[in-house]
Amino acid sequence: MGSKRSSVALVALVVFAGVWSGCGRPQVAPEHLHLTSELRTAISTQNAEWLERVETVVEEHHQADEMSDREYKAFRSIIDRAHSGDWRAAEQEVLALQKAQRPTPEQVDRVRR
Protein backbone atom coordinates (compact mmCIF):
# COMPACT_ATOMS: atom_id res chain seq x y z
CA MET A 1 0.00 0.00 0.00
CA GLY A 2 2.80 2.44 0.91
CA SER A 3 4.63 1.66 -2.33
CA LYS A 4 1.55 2.55 -4.38
CA ARG A 5 1.20 5.86 -2.53
CA SER A 6 4.87 6.58 -3.12
CA SER A 7 4.46 5.93 -6.84
CA VAL A 8 1.39 8.15 -7.05
CA ALA A 9 3.19 10.89 -5.13
CA LEU A 10 6.20 10.60 -7.45
CA VAL A 11 4.03 10.85 -10.55
CA ALA A 12 2.19 13.85 -9.10
CA LEU A 13 5.49 15.55 -8.30
CA VAL A 14 6.89 14.93 -11.78
CA VAL A 15 3.72 16.22 -13.44
CA PHE A 16 3.59 19.29 -11.18
CA ALA A 17 7.26 20.09 -11.81
CA GLY A 18 6.74 19.72 -15.55
CA VAL A 19 3.69 21.93 -15.62
CA TRP A 20 5.24 24.52 -13.32
CA SER A 21 8.47 24.85 -15.29
CA GLY A 22 7.11 24.22 -18.77
CA CYS A 23 5.12 27.34 -19.48
CA GLY A 24 5.40 28.31 -23.13
CA ARG A 25 7.80 25.58 -24.20
CA PRO A 26 6.70 22.80 -26.55
CA GLN A 27 6.70 19.17 -25.65
CA VAL A 28 9.37 17.30 -27.56
CA ALA A 29 8.29 13.97 -28.99
CA PRO A 30 9.80 11.06 -27.05
CA GLU A 31 11.79 10.01 -30.11
CA HIS A 32 13.42 13.47 -30.21
CA LEU A 33 14.27 13.86 -26.54
CA HIS A 34 17.82 12.70 -27.17
CA LEU A 35 18.27 15.76 -29.39
CA THR A 36 17.79 18.06 -26.40
CA SER A 37 20.68 16.33 -24.64
CA GLU A 38 22.86 16.35 -27.73
CA LEU A 39 22.10 20.00 -28.34
CA ARG A 40 22.84 20.90 -24.73
CA THR A 41 26.17 19.08 -24.92
CA ALA A 42 27.12 20.86 -28.15
CA ILE A 43 26.23 24.21 -26.65
CA SER A 44 27.79 23.70 -23.22
CA THR A 45 31.08 22.73 -24.88
CA GLN A 46 30.67 25.44 -27.53
CA ASN A 47 31.44 22.82 -30.14
CA ALA A 48 30.34 24.11 -33.54
CA GLU A 49 30.86 20.73 -35.22
CA TRP A 50 28.51 18.99 -32.76
CA LEU A 51 26.03 21.84 -33.14
CA GLU A 52 26.06 21.30 -36.91
CA ARG A 53 25.38 17.58 -36.44
CA VAL A 54 22.34 18.26 -34.27
CA GLU A 55 21.18 20.92 -36.68
CA THR A 56 21.37 18.46 -39.58
CA VAL A 57 19.31 15.85 -37.72
CA VAL A 58 16.70 18.45 -36.69
CA GLU A 59 16.42 19.67 -40.29
CA GLU A 60 16.10 16.11 -41.62
CA HIS A 61 13.34 15.22 -39.13
CA HIS A 62 11.43 18.40 -39.88
CA GLN A 63 11.71 18.06 -43.66
CA ALA A 64 10.48 14.46 -43.40
CA ASP A 65 7.45 15.64 -41.38
CA GLU A 66 8.72 13.65 -38.39
CA MET A 67 8.94 16.76 -36.19
CA SER A 68 6.20 19.26 -35.49
CA ASP A 69 6.62 22.88 -36.51
CA ARG A 70 6.47 23.91 -32.85
CA GLU A 71 9.27 21.51 -31.89
CA TYR A 72 11.29 22.60 -34.90
CA LYS A 73 10.93 26.28 -34.04
CA ALA A 74 12.14 25.62 -30.49
CA PHE A 75 15.22 23.75 -31.72
CA ARG A 76 15.82 26.28 -34.49
CA SER A 77 15.72 29.21 -32.04
CA ILE A 78 18.32 27.57 -29.82
CA ILE A 79 20.55 26.59 -32.73
CA ASP A 80 20.36 30.09 -34.24
CA ARG A 81 21.26 31.67 -30.92
CA ALA A 82 24.31 29.42 -30.63
CA HIS A 83 25.33 30.17 -34.23
CA SER A 84 25.16 33.88 -33.39
CA GLY A 85 27.75 33.29 -30.67
CA ASP A 86 25.42 33.74 -27.72
CA TRP A 87 26.28 30.37 -26.23
CA ARG A 88 25.15 31.31 -22.73
CA ALA A 89 21.65 32.31 -23.82
CA ALA A 90 21.44 29.22 -26.04
CA GLU A 91 22.34 27.05 -23.07
CA GLN A 92 19.70 28.70 -20.91
CA GLU A 93 17.14 28.17 -23.65
CA VAL A 94 17.95 24.49 -24.17
CA LEU A 95 17.89 23.92 -20.41
CA ALA A 96 14.44 25.56 -20.23
CA LEU A 97 13.26 23.30 -23.05
CA GLN A 98 14.52 20.24 -21.20
CA LYS A 99 12.88 21.30 -17.96
CA ALA A 100 9.58 21.89 -19.76
CA GLN A 101 9.20 18.27 -20.73
CA ARG A 102 6.42 16.31 -19.05
CA PRO A 103 6.14 12.55 -18.86
CA THR A 104 4.09 10.76 -21.48
CA PRO A 105 1.20 8.54 -20.35
CA GLU A 106 3.44 5.53 -21.09
CA GLN A 107 6.18 6.89 -18.84
CA VAL A 108 3.66 7.56 -16.06
CA ASP A 109 2.33 4.02 -16.44
CA ARG A 110 5.86 2.60 -16.06
CA VAL A 111 6.35 4.53 -12.82
CA ARG A 112 3.09 3.18 -11.44
CA ARG A 113 4.21 -0.43 -11.88
- List, for residues 64-98, the tens digit of each pLDDT value: 999 999 999 999 999 999 999 999 999 999 999 99
Domain of 26 in residue numbering reads as 2-112
Give the integer Cα–Cα distance in Å for 45 and 27.
Answer: 25
As for how many domains the chain has, the answer is: 1
Give the integer Cα–Cα distance in Å for 39 and 56.
Answer: 11
Position 19 confidence tier, pLDDT thresholds 50, 70, 90: very low
Q: Supply the pLDDT for residue 58.
A: 98
Alpha-carbon distances, residue 70 vs 50, 54, 75, 97 (angstroms): 23, 17, 9, 12
